Amino acid sequence: MSAIEVLNHPLVDCHLTVLRKQSTPPGEFRQSVRRLSTLLAYSATAGIRTSEYPIETPLQTMKGRQLVDRIGLIPILRAGIGMVEPMLDLIPTAEVWHLGLYRDETTATPVHYYSKLPPGSPVELAFILDPMLATGGSACLALQTLMEWGVRDIKMLSILAAPEGIEKIQSQFPNIDVHCCAVDEGLNDQKYIVPGLGDAGDRIFNTSGQP
């Protein structure tokens, strides 16, 4: 069964509160997405493989460490873009492969409109980035796409998750770990996470139409 890692930390609670508040302006919203993504990345990368190699400090030689695997960041457009930079800050050598999915407004099912995955060999470890795991439809389509590409080790990173989305991943992809900052109560009639934070893409990119 997949592991669900929920960050339990007072700073996470405070930054998540900023995201949830309707009055938070886009700049602050993006800043909090970045901060929470850094904390998620720290937790989700705890088990990544490193190897030793010799280095010289100004004083002597010693053994340093470097990443072993080819790592891919797969942001689900649009909202996942907000999580890329903080991940790249921690893993500068990561490759970024974009997946374009949006939810049909009436059915809340994902529509695939873009994917930029290389035809050649896949990365060894992939992190799917999307702040919102609601019904889980988008995440499962992304997981299926990466598995068909041949990625064997995939982790899902979301800021907010609904129990429905977690259950969908667990039933369809029992070996995939999900890392999130909080699991909310559930989904409303429009399949939005409640209490949630609204439409993450609109809030990151300031496209909600609000003055």
196, interface contact from ligand URA, ligand PRP, none, CB < 5-8 Å by kind = ligand URA
CB of 75 to ligand URA, least distance (A): 14
CA–CA gap between residue 2 and residue 189 (Å, rounded)? 27
Q: Quick check: 19 binds ligand URA (CB under 6 A)? A: no
- Is 45 catalytic? The answer is no
Within residues 132-161, the interface with ligand URA by CB under 6 A covers 132, 134
Within residues 177-196, the interface with ligand PRP by CB under 6 A covers 191
Within residues 52-91, the interface with ligand PRP by CB under 6 A covers 76-79
| Long-range contacts from 21-27, C-beta under 8 angstroms, 24+ separation | 22/198, 24/203, 26/203, 26/204, 26/205, 26/206
Q: Quick check: 137 binds ligand PRP (CB under 6 A)? A: yes
82, interface contact from ligand PRP, ligand URA, none, CB < 5-8 Å by kind = none
CA–CA gap between residue 72 and residue 69 (Å, rounded)? 9
Count of other CB atoms within 10 angstroms of residue 32: 22
Sign, Cα dihedral of 43, 85, 92, 128: positive
3-state class (DSSP) for residue 29: helix
- Is 153 catalytic? The answer is no
Q: Which of these is catalytic: 103, 135, 145, 153?
A: 103
CB of 33 to ligand URA, least distance (A): 12
Could you tell me where the DSSP H helices lie in 126-191?
A: 137-149, 163-172
Per CB under 6 A, the list member of 75, 82, 122, 165 interacting with ligand PRP is 165
193, interface contact from ligand URA, ligand PRP, none, CB < 5-8 Å by kind = ligand URA
Q: Which of these is catalytic: 34, 38, 177, 202?
A: 202
Give the N- to C-terminal CA distance of the chain in Å, as an integer.
45
List residues with catalytic annotation: 103, 107, 199, 202
